[in-house]
Amino acid sequence: MNKPVPERDVQAAQRLAFVDCDIHPVQRTPKDLHPYLSAQWREHADTFGPHVCQGLIGQLAHPRMMANGMRADAYPSNGGPPGCDLEMMQRQHLDAYGCETGMMVCLSRGGMEERNLEFAAALSHAVNDWQLHDWVMNDKRLKAGIVVPQEYPDYAAREIDARAENEAFRQVIISPRSSEPLGRRKYWPIYEAIARSNLVLGLHPAGLSGGHASSGTGWGTYYMQEHYTFGTSMVGNVVSLIFEGVFERFPGLKVAMIESGFSWAPSLGWRMDGQWQRMRKETPHLKRPPSEYLREHFWFCTQPMEEPEEPAHLYDVLDWIGWDKMMFSSDYPHWDYDDPRRALSFKMTDAQRSAILRENAKALYRLP
Amino acid sequence: MKVPFAGAIDCDVHPAVPDVAALKPYLDDFWCEHLSERYIDHAAFTLASYAPNLPHSARPDWRPECGVPGGSLDALRAQALDPFGTRFAIANVLHGAVALHNADMAAALCKAVNSYIAHEWLDREPRLRASILVPPQDIELAIAEIERCAADPRFVQLLLLVMGDRPLGHRSYWPVYRAAEKHRLPIGIHAGSTFRHAPTGSGWPSHHVEDGVLQATAFEDTLVSFLAEGVFQKFPGTKLVLMESGFTWLPTLLWRTNRSWRGVRTEVPWIDRPPADIVRDHIRFTLQPLDVPNANLLNRVVDHVRSDALILFSTDYPHWRFDGADALPDGLSDAMMRKILIDNPLATYPRLGAAVEADERTSLRKEMAR
């Protein structure tokens, strides 16, 4: 793990120096978690395995495009899926482009979509140990997100409390494909624990559903549709968090929207305000127009970078969202990876570029 | 601001059907007896998305002292047609028949609603046109109703709710779109849900206001469904009109689908050009609710979608979207207002265009006779 970094790449590092807000480590095999599971749960995992809300096991009902949704060049030569090999991640991404800090978002086997809640708790605990021991301790640039099963809020709060002291963990990851919209009271113990620890709530689209179709119109036929719902289903959660009054109850709560798109945010703010003007008596717990909570409490990651037909139009969007709210992310090693050298290719000032590439994330996650 | 000149085409007004009793003349004996036997012969069949008491369902000064908002033709004339100088208004009846599980009952009620509108409203008000309320539960029954109504040129489009059993681009609906194309009827998709599915991918929100906000996301997912399924390649004559959808979300949709299409082309090989170009050719949006705090932002959004042909004027009467006579935002150019009020609707609805031409021929004849 401590191999010298090639000189060419050190120069690259000095040039760019960025914080990457979306990196996906994955287990080479389910057995990677065994050291962190009790004998009972190891046996459960081997015998019964996951119990989730879809008709296929071990693969998705909307199969991903392009090498199972991965960069084809990120498959390790010694086997396993992309993202399972730290050395390859260092060579291909962290060292190559000069990543200062990488925020890990662990999407698999953490129990977020597991229906057996005690198993979910054991899995999330194991994945958090695994992130710490197999990744962060081997590369200090990496920071972990505490994975918790949102459908088991009491346990989730305990897990957050237990991890919060360790500075390796900078945020809490739950599935936005929850069984209820995330603003509902059920989930407030999680937000209470996050607020207590001054952590960040990180939301990243999930592959597996929590028991609902991915859109209010039902299930799409094609992955093209499913991919689009990564944005629209996230909007449902933003609306829920705001209108349920979560930010009145937890005024310090900060939410990072990861791989969720961002250009929808200004328009959502306008629409929420318009509807709220007519209906405000229904939600008397809101003290301000909904767009103000959106502007204050949400941060947005850049990948997948929006690509207007006229690049200058992106400037409007970032003006409306706020340049202080955008954070670079690559989504390494997934297929629609954004290259840190090219993703921010539209015109902006040096200060704006440095805010997106580095400063906003450092401030949000209180990085050194 | 006020509508600056006469001749506007209001593409979304909502006459309400009082209750099943008003439909009885248009139901056959079997259904009259059956509905009465089940004690639903005075049921309102009101969609939950538009419960009449909800603030957005009726502007305070458009709320009648008795009866349901939108239930009176005289009120529609006095409050919507006259004050905005409307030449044509398209009536969209948001009726709960489409939320039933029994397709036969739904089709009987939809047929009765369409007949009721034709006889009790269109016959009495020459400025009114209507959408065909389609029972989506059964495709054959849906097509039969389209064929029946299409013979009357005052029916100018189909009416479907944005949230039903499944995304509306799905192949199972294609026979409906084939019929629409044959009769040159745009497919009108209106806000509202039958709540077959939770409004979000993570379940059921607590508040009505959330449901209202989230209608926009259902339109986005529906539009992507039409693109991904290849409806516009299969039926090139298709025009889709999204009503009460908002449209400030459209730039995001164009940018995201243009980008994702490059990655998913082999999955949907029938998409033969950038999705944004397909949207601009085939899809239109009614104006209200406007979703922008000022016209400056609206102008930016129009700039982002790179077309001034997409927006169709609507008041959304009697829903509460604006106050007084200010059906248009301040700050639109005269040319843009003309497009929104007249040119875009005429270009979208062939049957309105034909009516305008007929009117012009008549006035020309009168002129020559003098």
Residues A246-284 have pLDDT tens digits of: 999 999 999 999 999 999 999 999 999 999 999 999 999
Sign of CA dihedral B40, B41, B43, B47: positive
Which of B172, B244, B252, B292 is the best substitution to test chain A (most A C-beta atoms within 10 A)?
B252
Q: How far does the CA of residue A299 sit from the closest CA of chain B (Å)?
A: 17
Rounded distance between C-alpha atoms, residue B161 and residue B196, angstroms: 12
Which residues of chain A lie closer than 8 angstroms to B167, CB-CB?
215, 217-221, 225
Domain assignment present for residue B3? The answer is no
pLDDT at residue A2, as a whole number? 38
Q: Residue B228 and residue A264: Cβ atoms within 8 Å?
A: no
pLDDT at residue B369, as a whole number? 83
What is the number of structural domains in chain B? 1
Nearest to A224 among B216, B228, B291 (CB): B228
- Enter the tokens of residue A9: 């790449």
Give residue A15's pLDDT band: very low, low, confident or very high (50, 70, 90): low
ipTM of this complex > 0.85? yes
pLDDT at residue B249, as a whole number? 97
Q: Residue A209 and residue B260: Cβ atoms within 8 Å?
A: no
Q: What is the pLDDT of residues B41-71, one digit of tens each?
A: 999 999 999 998 999 999 999 999 988 899 9
- Enter the tokens of residue A172: 């809490």
Which residues of chain A lie closer than 8 angstroms to B193, CB-CB?
216
Give residue A13's pLDDT band: very low, low, confident or very high (50, 70, 90): very low
Q: Residue A235 and residue B268: Cβ atoms within 8 Å?
A: no
pLDDT at residue A345, as a whole number? 82
Q: What is the pLDDT of residues B3-12, one digit of tens each?
A: 999 999 999 9
DSSP B73-112: HHHHIIIIITTTTEEEEEE----GGGG-S-HHHHHHHHHH
Which residues of chain A lie closer than 8 angstroms to B263, CB-CB?
65-66, 335-336
- In chain A, what percentage of residues exceed pLDDT 70? 96
Q: How far does the CA of residue B161 sit from the closest CA of chain A (Å)?
A: 10
Nearest to A271 among B218, B248, B268 (CB): B248
Q: Residue B200 and residue A306: Cβ atoms within 8 Å?
A: no
Which residues of chain B lie closer than 8 angstroms to A239, CB-CB?
200, 205, 210, 213-214
Question: Greater confidence, A346 or A144?
Answer: A144
Mean pLDDT by 10 residues, chain B (370 residues): 95 94 96 96 94 93 93 97 97 98 98 98 98 98 98 98 98 98 98 97 97 98 98 98 97 96 96 98 97 91 97 98 94 95 98 89 85
Calculate the dihedral angle through the C-alpha atoms of B265, B266, B272, B274, rounding to the nearest 10 degrees: 0
- Asked if A167 and A131 count as a contact pair (C-beta separation under 8 A), the reply is no
Domain assignment present for residue B1? The answer is no
State which amino acid sits at residue A85.
Answer: D
Averaged confidence pLDDT in chain B: 96
CATH number at residue B122: 3.20.20.140
Question: Greater confidence, A368 or A289?
Answer: A289
Which residues of chain B lie closer than 8 angstroms to A223, CB-CB?
264, 267
CA end-to-end distance (rounded Å), chain B? 39
Q: Residue A309 and residue B228: Cβ atoms within 8 Å?
A: no
Instruction: Report all structural domains of chain A as residue ranges with CATH numbers, in order of start.
Output: 7-364 (3.20.20.140)
- The beta-carbon contacts of A29-37 under 8 Å, at least 24 apart in sequence, are A29/A80, A30/A109, A32/A84, A32/A130, A32/A134, A33/A109, A33/A123, A33/A126, A33/A127, A33/A130, A35/A129, A35/A130, A36/A125, A36/A126, A36/A127, A36/A129, A36/A130, A36/A133, A37/A122, A37/A123, A37/A126
Q: What is the pLDDT of residues A308-321, one digit of tens each?
A: 999 999 999 999 99
Domain extent, residue B110, equals 8-369
- Enter the tokens of residue A233: 């289903």
Nearest CA in chain B to A240: B205
Nearest to B214 among A219, A236, A273 (CB): A236
Nearest to A232 among B221, B246, B261 (CB): B221
Which of A112, A175, A224 is the best substitution to test chain B (most B C-beta atoms within 10 A)?
A224
pLDDT at residue A60, as a whole number? 92
Domain assignment present for residue B230? The answer is yes
Closest CA to B241 of B38, B22, B11: B11
Q: Residue A224 and residue B212: Cβ atoms within 8 Å?
A: no
Asked if the model's pLDDT at residue A14 lies above 80, the reply is no
Domain assignment present for residue B2? The answer is no
Domain assignment present for residue B91? The answer is yes
Which residues of chain A lie closer than 8 angstroms to B290, CB-CB?
274
Nearest to A219 among B166, B193, B320 (CB): B166
Which distant-in-sequence residues (6+ apart) come within 8 Å of A77 by Cβ? none
Q: Residue B210 and residue A209: Cβ atoms within 8 Å?
A: no
Nearest CA in chain A to B306: A309
Q: How far does the CA of residue A302 sit from the closest CA of chain B (Å)?
A: 13
Give residue A91's pLDDT band: very low, low, confident or very high (50, 70, 90): very high
Averaged confidence pLDDT in chain A: 93
- Enter the tokens of residue B358: 């007929």
- Enter the tokens of residue A107: 């999407």
Which residues of chain A lie closer than 8 angstroms to B218, CB-CB?
215-217
Q: What is the pLDDT of residues A33-61, one digit of tens each?
A: 999 999 999 999 999 999 999 999 888 99
Give residue A343's pLDDT band: very low, low, confident or very high (50, 70, 90): confident
pLDDT at residue A58, as a whole number? 86
Closest CA to B90 of B276, B349, B296: B349
Q: Residue B221 and residue A223: Cβ atoms within 8 Å?
A: no
pLDDT at residue A4, as a whole number? 40
| CB pairs < 8 Å spanning A and B | 245
Strand (E) or helix (H) holding A174: strand A169-174
pLDDT at residue A1, as a whole number? 33
Domain assignment present for residue B48? The answer is yes
